[in-house]
Structure 1
């Protein structure tokens, strides 16, 4: 197999969308207790909060910028398919190209350097460095799937600024994770001809049965209060080692415990708590506080991060802690519309569902717990074939020893090989 190397560049893709979506009466989000109250209402049995808050319909027409990272082999943009990578909730495009441990957990590195693909990883509309917007009535799943569609059309037409590909990409594969998989699936249902193949990670069509457990595990907070130096309006101090830790140590001593510990020990003690979130960004002078409104929410701390995404004993805790520092929020509008995709897609090309065996969001923590109703393959993701009646072929693969955050587990690269080999087998491979 050839080794290609890679060249990457950051891009800004202007898009104009027209999205028909609900108009909600915005809940109040001023304090973290408001977030808790919202969660209680959202999770109440027999209650459909989205319906209660809907006051009408709207057509959102606006122009936005989508932030993206484009990578191709060092030899140049290849004739291989373009993978459009859409991240899930809680992350941005960095999810696909994690720099931790020399990029050993990078989907992009595997796709481009080992298999010769081109990749375009986007920040979803409203997230990361893409345009933000009203978190209730603007940044909804409807708008995001239309944004994904416009990015795809630009890539196919060869009109993405900064990508010198005359005539555009002839073949496009949509790769998603979690919410990004839902959007990719949704896109294939709305416009089956816009994609040539789907790889849906962290996905099943049984998410409804586990959604309540998953969302409850967030212990949601206002993003601006949870990480104020990234998502709020607060300015930085002088840094963790130079300012905050001595202050915290003196405070603990003032309580009468008078402990004797080093700064590193103290840091280890607070690394999994919400307190660590309060100081994320203190040492990073490149971070500009985003001053996000209250409708942008996030999970509480690293303990919630593990509960939602990580399988104990099968991931590097250092990488887990890193993902906490780069986590991204979810909007109320996304939460209210995430369950609205069509029941099925008429897409007739190759579909691969690749899900961890212990995925909480997709399978309630056990993808083999079918209760005798597993269908083809005897697992929950395999039942997704019902959503793709025309897919040729359809395959569900269960990645062992892996929870929802596929890319953060020790064996992530094995899953990458499964996906890229499968694409090659079905006419959508790179230039290996």
Structure 2
């Protein structure tokens, strides 16, 4: 596979960036609106456009059929895109920065489809035990998590032509550069020396592509909801039974363009994200209540964007729920042997697929065990 090429971008930091402080007894968080200017990346012209529920149903059939790889890819040809985007983001760091040098490393977290940055720090009562952000800050690290374009409070750009895989990679690179810049306005006066990138699901593919295209921007990566294998995506697409979000629930999503789509109901959400008996139904209900519709261009372009991970030499962790549907077809036993082949030079490469969970590892029982393994990998291999 050819190395993913992402065009160089020009960044402009606006003096109107919006900042909200969030005090805590042990750590502090600031929420920002970060304006990115003239972000440029390769893109794709699509052969389809989603306007109605009939359209998204036909697209689901085309993507889920057994011969979709050869019969339908939805791509008419290559293009480029350049745009300005506002990114909603949050930076958290320990209050006692002197107790450890870990705070000079920022963990950059990228969420998956159907979610926003709250995946990493759930907002419901009792959500602390499912919060990777709180676990990481308690361990001494600084943390940055953000809403990808098309989700949460970030820019809702054209879901067919703009919100595609390559631009998401370029935005992650741009944000990382801003965080590591001297006197960055987005690090709450914490002087950062390095970044480690964490991804979940679609965010893991973005993170893997960043490691391929911009290895100097990261000291290591940790991936969940990921195998690097596309064999089981038709199971995901068929089971989601996606609908045009604005037509499904106009009170929630009537402001979105018709190319933003979402799983049909709570149980379609659960189908991908969770596995009984390893989760509480109330947690799945919360996740569904705060879900962010995804841009159809994101899935259409994921498998069409080549990037090469075989030359990445830094630490790589893959931490999988054993029963992950889209990554492993519902059972990771044996599947992750193929994942190891994608990272032959990673030093070290740590792959685990036995944690009792479905796709959304963070939202299952004993999430603290998963967090300890993820953070321990960073501490042992980057701060050893």
Normalising by the smaller structure, the TM-score range is 0.7 to 0.9
Corresponding residue pairs, total: 355
Q: State the 1:52 CA deviation.
A: 5.7
Q: Is the 8 A contact 1:42 1:49 kept in 2?
A: no
| Equivalent residue number for residue 222 of structure 2 | 199
| Equivalent residue number for residue 385 of structure 1 | 340
Q: Is the 8 A contact 1:203 1:381 kept in 2?
A: no
| SS in structure 2 of the partner of residue 104 of structure 1 | helix
1:117 aligns with 2:141: yes
Root-mean-square deviation (CA), in Å?
2.1
Pair 218,428 (structure 1): closer, same or farther in 2 beyond 3 Å? farther
1:66 aligns with 2:87: yes
Any residues of structure 2 matched to 1:91-240 within 5 Å, and which?
91-100=115-124, 101-113=126-138, 115-158=139-182, 160-165=184-189, 168-206=191-229, 208-232=230-254
Structure 2 residues not aligned, in runs of 5+: 1-24
1:358 aligns with 2:380: no
**Deviations 1:143-174, CA, capped at 9 Å, x for gaps:** 100010100111111464342447x5211000
| Equivalent residue number for residue 289 of structure 2 | 325
* Inter-partner Cα distance in structure 1 for 2:92 and 2:217: 21
Q: State the 1:91 CA deviation.
A: 0.4
1:86 is aligned, of 97, 110, 114, to 110
| Equivalent residue number for residue 372 of structure 2 | 417
Stretch deviating more after TM superposition (336-345 or 210-219): 336-345
Q: Is the 8 A contact 1:13 1:161 kept in 2?
A: no
Pair 399,7 (structure 1): closer, same or farther in 2 beyond 3 Å? farther
Give me the TM-score of the superposition, normalised by structure 1. Answer: 0.78
* Inter-partner Cα distance in structure 1 for 2:207 and 2:199: 6
| SS in structure 2 of the partner of residue 217 of structure 1 | helix
1:346 aligns with 2:311: yes
Structure 1 residues not aligned, in runs of 5+: 233-290, 371-379
Q: Is the 8 A contact 2:279 2:364 kept in 1?
A: yes
* Inter-partner Cα distance in structure 1 for 2:383 and 2:250: 43
Q: State the 1:119 CA deviation.
A: 0.4
Pair 42,110 (structure 1): closer, same or farther in 2 beyond 3 Å? same
Give me the TM-score of the superposition, normalised by structure 2. Answer: 0.87
* Inter-partner Cα distance in structure 2 for 1:49 and 1:68: 39
| Equivalent residue number for residue 407 of structure 1 | 362
Structure with more of its chain in strand, by fraction: 2
| SS in structure 1 of the partner of residue 232 of structure 2 | helix
* Inter-partner Cα distance in structure 2 for 1:417 and 1:219: 35
**Deviations 1:186-208, CA, capped at 9 Å, x for gaps:** 111111111101000111122x1
Q: Is the 8 A contact 2:179 2:186 kept in 1?
A: no
Q: State the 1:220 CA deviation.
A: 0.6
Could you say which structure has the larger radius of gyration? Answer: 1
Pair 428,336 (structure 1): closer, same or farther in 2 beyond 3 Å? farther
Q: Is the 8 A contact 2:121 2:127 kept in 1?
A: no
Q: Is the 8 A contact 1:50 1:337 kept in 2?
A: no
| Equivalent residue number for residue 28 of structure 2 | 7
Q: Is the 8 A contact 1:13 1:160 kept in 2?
A: no
Pair 152,304 (structure 1): closer, same or farther in 2 beyond 3 Å? same
| Equivalent residue number for residue 35 of structure 1 | 56
**Deviations 1:73-114, CA, capped at 9 Å, x for gaps:** 12249742100000011100000001331411100010002x
